[in-house]
Structure 1
Amino acid sequence: MQRIAICGVVLMMLLGPVTARSEDEVDHRDTAQPTQDSLNFFESKIRPLLIDHCHECHGEDSQESELRVDTLAGMLTGGLAGASLVPGKPASSLLVTAVRYQDNDLKMPPDEKLPDVQIADIIRWVEMGAPHPDTNTVGPIVQRGEVDLDQGRKHWAFQPPIKATPPIGDALTDAPNPIDAFVLARLRAEGLHPNAPADRRTLLRRVTFDLTGLPPTPEEIDSFLSDSSSHAFAKVVDRLLASPQYGERWARHWLDVARYADSNGLDENVVLGNAWRYRDYVVRSLNDDKPYNQFVVEQLAGDLLDSGNDVDLRHDRLIATGFLVLGPKVLAEQDEAKMEMDIIDEQIDTVGRSLMGLTLGCARCHTHKFDPISHHDYYGLAGIFQSTQTMDSYKTVAEWHENTIETPEQAAELKQHQQKIADQEKLIAEKFAHAKSELEPPSDAAAKPDEIEKRFSEETRAELKTLRDELERWKEETPELPTAMGVVDGDIADTAVHLRGSHLTLGDVVPRRFPEVLMSDDDPSIPVDQSGRLEFARWLTNGRHPLTARVMVNRLWRGHFGKGLVPTVDNFGLKGSSPTHPELLDWLAVRFVEEGWSIKAMHRMMVLSQTYQQSSDFGAFNAELDPSNQFYWRFSVRRLEAEAIRDGLLAVSGQLDWTTGGNIMPYKNREYVFNHTSQDKSRYDSKRRSIYVPVIRNHLYDMFQLFDYTDASVLNGDRNTSTIAPQALYLMNSEMVSDLTFAMADRLLNEDTDSVRRIRRLYLEAYGRPPRDPEISDGVRFLSRFETLQRRGDVESDGNASDPERSAWQAFCQAVVSSSEFVYLR
């Protein structure tokens, strides 16, 4: 099929001149207003690079060529050669010219060109508009900033959540769900009115996609519509939560936060051949409704938990620690100490944002510019992760650690096989020694074994060859014990502060500890002989921590309502958003802990609320007061994610492979994704659910990219949702959609002979509702017209011209699933 190419239009930032101005005069409106994700990119990728390679000559203490790059103002002002940075314009930025070595008179760093991956990061940063924490504040980087803990603890997110009594009033007497009481009270205060409930078909499609990522079947629709009991919807919710598909759906939400991928990306894009075990662990954990506090502890310190004699539990907990290993790594980094600290930084950033909603990584180079997180807080945590073995080797190409997870039977099989090899080696040695002893005259003591063996009889040499061939075959057949990416405790030690984030300039050694602003007098200390991971995990999940429960219930709310009660789901710090419903957020957080950290119980409460079950109808009065629906006067229409669109197509076509778990990657562990011709042999034509499709960093499946799949190299709990023409063109032109709609057509043609009944079945499966009369008549007319044109040869299709009826039904099915109604939840 011919692919349609779309040319995108790139909006570039309009920049005024930045020459002949002092740092104090620089207009920071020239730079993009940074988002938290873009600031994280700067802090993790760009600032460490500038510190390592630039600050010595162009920093606070020295400004060769009058250039300073440790502040945004310094880069915008530039030095004697001009502005080093023009946000949004790499070609105009002398910083990019210098690191590219494009000008013989301007090569930086002067001693050696940066690796390509770091140059690409600089270019990407400039293209992003050069996001920098100094966009709104000019000044030197703080090295040892003092944190005002008393002031910091006044921030709402650092105070313990309080379970307020749900509001009560005349307008709230019909709100048995506490969620509705809080939401209705806020609506009333804002002068808004809630929408009426959604119709039952719409509600069923909404909750089925929400909880399983799949559309309801016609049979499930009929069953729900025929149930007139007051608990009909609750029974649907319980059925969906109990289905294996629930875990597959909601595991994908968590995997976005865990930055899950099947390859390393960056400089050495090798396969993470056992990452799938972590993915399957998440699916199992959610299906089992594993308490969230246990889920967290296992991922941070599962290797340190006592599992008794339960081998499966022990393995599960070892697999869980893969959470700490999944991040991308520069595996060819020549500076091993730098690689270690970069990996630790990625772990701290991930743990901070995923579990606490804090950008802890921003304190690597200096005290956090916005949150009460000190430089010493960061290195207190760094000591915990530096005392953890994440890597087996830092030598190029570096290797991450994997734990063996063999069963007793597998261990016994390996031992038996190794004994067979040892016995064979002994037999060969004895055979050789016996033949050597019978040589006349005896062999020279200095003779090599090969020279000696040449004097053996032909029969003896043949016997030895047979024995050695067997030995080599048995060695090749040695069973490999299964392994899983994960960590264990390493050499225990505290970590020194890295001044300006550089491992080359060390300051005071900091005892391993947790961020001081969140600590209380009765928090546990870390034993001197342990890394502190287990203590850290238990501190996070002790039920008193102000962030852990809040962050998770906010993630669940975002998954059901399209946005969080705290819109910045990965940032609860001072630069994050304040909650729209603070009392509700706190009530949910406390309830979450009280109910044993049950994720399923929280799902159930949210989707059974009237707030969730409202219609998505537009209301002019409400929209005038609350155009963004931040107070939840209606259900917000939202587009399905890439995975739900693909899985929905597979389900409606009858082609979905319901197999759960396992690996479909065509690679060996640690093998390079791309071969010598730069070809990626990953296959995306599997009929398995999308959660099992390979996630290759730097080479994502094209459909996933098009429908706003997450960047698997970084944590992201709040995927973007775009609406662009190429998405519609993909549904109308892609080979995958064409193949699946042929399968739909074939099934409809085989199951019924009546066109009207076929159309009704298709609408029920695709939209969860029957077609309206005009839609039926339009469909019949389309099919008839298409067949006629096909017979006359006046229309091209992907089908066989000798079967115009099949071609017509395929075209009709493709039109149905290409509509907005299929890809949107209302």
Structure 2
Amino acid sequence: MAKLSKTSLLKILFAAGFLFVSPSWGADKADENWWSLQAIQKPLVPQSANQKWIHNSIDAFVLAKLKENQLTPSSQADRRTLIRRLSYDLTGLPPSSAEVKAYVEDQTPDAYENVVNRLLASPHYGERWARHWLDVVHYGESHGFEYNQPRNNSWPYRNWVIRALNDDLPYDRFVQMQIAGDVIAPGSADGLIAVACLVTGPHNTTRPNNDTMRKTMRQDEIEDLVGMVGQTFLGLTVNCARCHDHKFDPVSQQDYYALAAALAGVNPGDRELKGLTRGDDVAALKKLREQENVWLKEIAAVEKPVRERLLKEADKSEQKNTPPQPTAAWNFTNDLTDAQDKLPVTLKGTAKQTPEGLVLNGKGWAVTAPLPYAVAEKTLEVWVKLKDLKQRGGGAITLQNNSGGVFDSIVYGEREAKRWMAGSNGFVRTKSFGGTEETEAEQQAVHFAAVYRADGSITGYRNGKLYGKAYTTGFHRYPANDAHFAFGIRHGTALGSNRMLTGTITGARFYNRALNANEVAASAGLGTITITKAQLTEALTADQLETRRQATSQLVGVRKDISALLAKGPQADKVYTVLARNPGVTQVLNRGNVRNPIGPVAPAGLPALKTINANFGLADNAPDAQRRAKLAEWITHPDNPLFARVMANRIWHYHFGAGLVNTPNDFGYSGTAPSHPALLDHLATYFAQKKWSIKALHRYIVTSATYKQNSQPLPAAMRVDADNRLLWRMSPRRMTAEEMRDTMLVASGKLNRQLGGIGYRDVRAYQFKGSNFYDIIAQDKPEQFRRTIYRFSPRGAQRNLLDTFDCPDSSALAPNRASTTTPLQSLALMNNRFVLSQSDLFAERLANQTGDDITSQLRLAHELTLSRALAPNQLTLAEAFVKKHGMAAYCRVLLNTNAFLYVR
């Protein structure tokens, strides 16, 4: 037989299909009619006879697909399984024994929903879901490449992502801030920090003398950036078109360089944060605020009964109409409580509660808890003294949805100087009242009320009298648990330029109905009665005065600490972020060769998306700020079908272990087909309708019957759909490496739950011949026992336990983590130093909490690690094992079980 040449062999293999497996599409490549590029059409919800199983519309789509394949859904998981699944999915931490017990015993209809809401409100939710996002954008804390210098100032971006997710920042704003935060939020630390997303990738700091090599290195970085932006926000591998038209998707080389031009001004480096405002929710500040409230309540306990007696005496001397009964009422000269005891107020930023009222200096505001009831017709009332009549746009009292995107507010001076208005999102419910200019609010508190009726009419009243004329626009209803009140801010959940009010709010009221003119007048008259500080002091007894003096002294000390903390500004002096530079004119490079430019190209989007205009209307030499602002606007355009589809699929992917499109970063020809196309568009539509609230989409998904299924394999279903693409059960998943480490710390009782800050290090950094190396060190200090997301994470550094369990290196995008099974994993769980030390600490905790009784120790151990009771037959075996090998060894065995490692 003649010997085959390498070329002949390759031809034979290629022809046989061994070197290329084509996608399962009928066409050779995608064109502009590709499914993911088409406008999202709201699909009809399938009808089903099995209405008992369906919890929401998600289930109708899943059930229809199962029926097509002669499959049925699995039954609901038991309560212990559900709360463990929910807790890990939403916070990355196990439920406590008390939380499990409370849910198992709670037989109220909304028990499950209450758990969901509690977990979504937990600050640990942001830590869990930020980890997913940091994988997607390949966040790392060193440059990579040969020198691999550390990025000591990159961590503020990680903290910003955590906080943005906890605050449920609308996804469109979340993305806009990460593309052009420094442009759209100038002067804010948040804007400067958020845009660090664009420089999370590797950065080659080797600078050769050869000009061609330097230019090529720059083009390599631009390709990585275009790839990250294209895949993260659009689900398209645009970077594949650098040297030629995309082989499979309708993205030309010209399109690649147009998108590259939009990002050509991005350079990495450190920038100062000093003097910039921020909306950081620091744990230390939260603790000080709690202490502040303790002393405020003690002062209020002394003053309130005396003040109320004086008010009654003053009220008897005046003839008044009977005032209406408010749904909620706040007298800020007393305290922060609601008179109806339903909506207490929490201070934010620099806001203070004093005997004068709620004092606002333009850098603080206050919020209530979510309203437990729905709001339709309503009346908002506020008594406010302005610090400056020239201020423009601050909100006195605001009713807004929990993301701050939809709101109704009493606003001063925004559209018309020195005039009041009823503010609203996008001014959709705002017109001029035509009222007179404000002249008195600088000297004394004035009353303003806005009455909203179902016919769309809005009426303003100042000091109980009609303010200008009523007008009619639109009407908005706020559902229960999805709205709250804010004071001192027009809308939103963070500081923002002219949205903030400067002055003092003495009181506010809310009526869950529309008051008539007489009722407003009566309410205004009641609100004008005030008790001066001198009158109150004169009426207090000697003992009351001494109690107040001591509490006031403590309050002053706490407020000094708050002022000192706020004066520090951001937690970091610097942040590794975008250093904008003159982008110049981007050239299309023939075959990607920097020495062979073809011609200039202006910054633009992708023409393949026919639903939105790809033309940014910019010249090829436009400045960086204009380019990125236009790019952010184009990507987040409501008519961009990829924007909603990609993120809805990403969230589904992290809940179910696989997306409806199982290639989260590739919605093109080389990606997988959606298993449930109609469901994906339904989720994308729902996401947009909920004003891009990520938490709303979570809530929708986890309250479905699809999510609540048990994970037991069914032989008949396995034969048809072994990969569970049709969602006939909940697929079990192994914990991520970070979840595993964090849970071990929870079990040992050593988890440091500190939020934010600079993070911890478990490596020793050193240099050798100009390159940086990172060696693992022992983790035995409390600051190293924080959640793993706060770990300093240099590229290419060994991480032992984390590496073994597929924690990805940040040198590449990781939208879909690998899940391997290797002998090293079992060896690591038995012999790793961290596992051994945590097992010892776990055993100590069991002994400390239960004493010497082995049975009690074993039962507690199972509750802490597995969220379930120890079975009688297991108890006998476990006791024998402990007597022979010790409790620490048994703890290590528990940490090696599938029951511990897998979330079902």
Scaled by the length of structure 1, the TM-score of the pair is: 0.69
Shift of 1:525: 2.2
The residue type equivalent to 1:217 in the other structure is S
Q: Deviations over 1:40-82 (max 9, x none)?
A: xxxxxxxxxxxxxxxxxxxxxxxxxxxxxxxxxxxxxxxxxxx
Q: Does the Cα contact within 8 Å between 1:403 and 1:486 map onto a contact in 2?
A: yes
1:108-507 equivalences under 5 Å are 152-172=31-51, 174-307=53-186, 314-334=188-208, 335-386=213-264, 388-390=265-267, 400-407=268-275, 482-507=573-598
The residue type equivalent to 1:228 in the other structure is Q
Shift of 1:389: 3.7
1:620-639 equivalences under 5 Å are 620-639=715-734
Quick one: distance in 2 between partners of 1:244 and 1:209? 14
Would the alpha carbon gap of residues 20 and 152 (structure 1) be closer, same or farther in structure 2, given more than 3 Å must change? closer
Q: Which residue of 2 aligns with 1:555?
A: 650
Q: Does the Cα contact within 8 Å between 1:710 and 1:716 map onto a contact in 2?
A: yes
Q: Deviations over 1:76-131 (max 9, x none)?
A: xxxxxxxxxxxxxxxxxxxxxxxxxxxxxxxxxxxxxxxxxxxxxxxxxxxxxxxx
Q: Verify: 1:647 aligned to 2:742, yes or no.
A: yes
Quick one: distance in 1 between partners of 2:263 and 2:247? 23
Q: Does the Cα contact within 8 Å between 2:261 and 2:602 map onto a contact in 1?
A: yes
1:485 is paired with a residue whose SS is: strand
* 2:8 alignment partner, one of 17, 21, 44: 21
Would the alpha carbon gap of residues 728 and 33 (structure 1) be closer, same or farther in structure 2, given more than 3 Å must change? farther
Q: Verify: 1:708 aligned to 2:806, yes or no.
A: yes
Shift of 1:665: 5.6
1:48-63 equivalences under 5 Å are none
1:688-727 equivalences under 5 Å are 688-727=786-825
Q: Which residue of 1 aligns with 2:874?
A: 775
1:800-819 equivalences under 5 Å are 808-819=886-897
Shift of 1:674: 5.9
Quick one: distance in 2 between partners of 1:697 and 1:233? 41
Q: Does the Cα contact within 8 Å between 2:607 and 2:614 map onto a contact in 1?
A: no
1:401 is paired with a residue whose SS is: strand
Q: Which residue of 2 aligns with 1:745?
A: 843
Shift of 1:353: 0.8
Would the alpha carbon gap of residues 550 and 30 (structure 1) be closer, same or farther in structure 2, given more than 3 Å must change? closer
Shift of 1:519: 4.2
Would the alpha carbon gap of residues 751 and 318 (structure 1) be closer, same or farther in structure 2, given more than 3 Å must change? same
1:517 is paired with a residue whose SS is: coil
Would the alpha carbon gap of residues 179 and 694 (structure 1) be closer, same or farther in structure 2, given more than 3 Å must change? same
Q: Does the Cα contact within 8 Å between 2:45 and 2:60 map onto a contact in 1?
A: yes
The residue type equivalent to 1:518 in the other structure is L
1:373 is paired with a residue whose SS is: coil
Q: Does the Cα contact within 8 Å between 1:291 and 1:599 map onto a contact in 2?
A: yes
Shift of 1:21: 3.2
Q: Which residue of 2 aligns with 1:822?
A: 900
Quick one: distance in 2 between partners of 1:667 and 1:408? 31
Q: Deviations over 1:550-590 (max 9, x none)?
A: 11111110100000000011100011111000000001001
Q: Which has the higher strand share?
A: 2
Would the alpha carbon gap of residues 385 and 684 (structure 1) be closer, same or farther in structure 2, given more than 3 Å must change? farther
Q: Which has the higher helix share?
A: 1
Shift of 1:527: 3.2
Shift of 1:492: 4.4
Q: Deviations over 1:196-218 (max 9, x none)?
A: 10000011111101111111110
Q: Which moved more, 1:682-691 or 1:345-354?
A: 682-691
Quick one: distance in 1 between partners of 2:612 and 2:696? 32
Q: Does the Cα contact within 8 Å between 1:759 and 1:779 map onto a contact in 2?
A: yes
Q: Deviations over 1:163-194 (max 9, x none)?
A: 11211121246413111110011111110011
Quick one: distance in 2 between partners of 1:574 and 1:719? 21
Shift of 1:321: 1.1
2:695 is paired with a residue whose SS is: helix
Q: Which residue of 2 aligns with 1:100?
A: none
Q: Does the Cα contact within 8 Å between 2:155 and 2:759 map onto a contact in 1?
A: no
Quick one: distance in 1 between partners of 2:222 and 2:7? 41
Would the alpha carbon gap of residues 523 and 336 (structure 1) be closer, same or farther in structure 2, given more than 3 Å must change? closer
Q: Which moved more, 1:589-598 or 1:24-33?
A: 24-33
Shift of 1:306: 3.8
Quick one: distance in 2 between partners of 1:409 and 1:372? 43
Q: Does the Cα contact within 8 Å between 2:160 and 2:190 map onto a contact in 1?
A: yes
Shift of 1:19: 3.0
Q: Deviations over 1:703-743 (max 9, x none)?
A: 11100011311111100101111111111111111111111
Quick one: distance in 1 between partners of 2:247 and 2:673? 18
1:655-694 equivalences under 5 Å are 655-664=750-759, 680=774, 683=777, 685=779, 686-694=784-792
1:680 is paired with a residue whose SS is: strand
Shift of 1:354: 0.8
The residue type equivalent to 1:536 in the other structure is L
Quick one: distance in 1 between partners of 2:884 and 2:572? 61
2:107 is paired with a residue whose SS is: coil
Shift of 1:226: 1.6
2:786 is paired with a residue whose SS is: coil
The residue type equivalent to 1:687 in the other structure is F
Would the alpha carbon gap of residues 263 and 521 (structure 1) be closer, same or farther in structure 2, given more than 3 Å must change? closer
Would the alpha carbon gap of residues 672 and 282 (structure 1) be closer, same or farther in structure 2, given more than 3 Å must change? farther
Shift of 1:684: 6.1
Cα RMSD after superposing both structures: 2.7
Quick one: distance in 2 between partners of 1:320 and 1:678? 27
The runs of 4+ residues in structure 1 deviating greater than 4 Å are 22-26, 28-36, 519-524, 665-669, 671-679, 681-684
Q: Which residue of 1 aligns with 2:865?
A: 766
The residue type equivalent to 2:903 in the other structure is L
Q: Does the Cα contact within 8 Å between 1:271 and 1:672 map onto a contact in 2?
A: no
2:685 is paired with a residue whose SS is: helix
Quick one: distance in 1 between partners of 2:118 and 2:755? 18
Where does structure 2 lack aligned partners over 5 or more consecutive residues? 279-569
Q: Which residue of 1 aligns with 2:307?
A: none
Q: Identical aligned pairs, as a percentage?
A: 35
1:496 is paired with a residue whose SS is: strand
The residue type equivalent to 2:200 in the other structure is L
Q: Which moved more, 1:226-235 or 1:18-27?
A: 18-27
* 2:623 alignment partner, one of 525, 530, 533: 530
The residue type equivalent to 1:729 in the other structure is L
Shift of 1:780: 1.1
Q: Verify: 1:733 aligned to 2:612, yes or no.
A: no
Q: Which moved more, 1:498-507 or 1:485-494?
A: 485-494
Where does structure 1 lack aligned partners over 5 or more consecutive residues? 1-15, 37-135, 138-147, 391-399, 411-478, 787-807
Scaled by the length of structure 2, the TM-score of the pair is: 0.63
The residue type equivalent to 1:527 in the other structure is L
Higher relative contact order (CA 8 A, sep 6+): 2
Q: Which residue of 1 aligns with 2:708?
A: 613
Shift of 1:330: 2.1
Q: Deviations over 1:320-352 (max 9, x none)?
A: 111111211221142322222111111001111
Would the alpha carbon gap of residues 221 and 327 (structure 1) be closer, same or farther in structure 2, given more than 3 Å must change? same
Would the alpha carbon gap of residues 223 and 302 (structure 1) be closer, same or farther in structure 2, given more than 3 Å must change? same
Q: Does the Cα contact within 8 Å between 1:377 and 1:516 map onto a contact in 2?
A: yes
Would the alpha carbon gap of residues 168 and 19 (structure 1) be closer, same or farther in structure 2, given more than 3 Å must change? closer
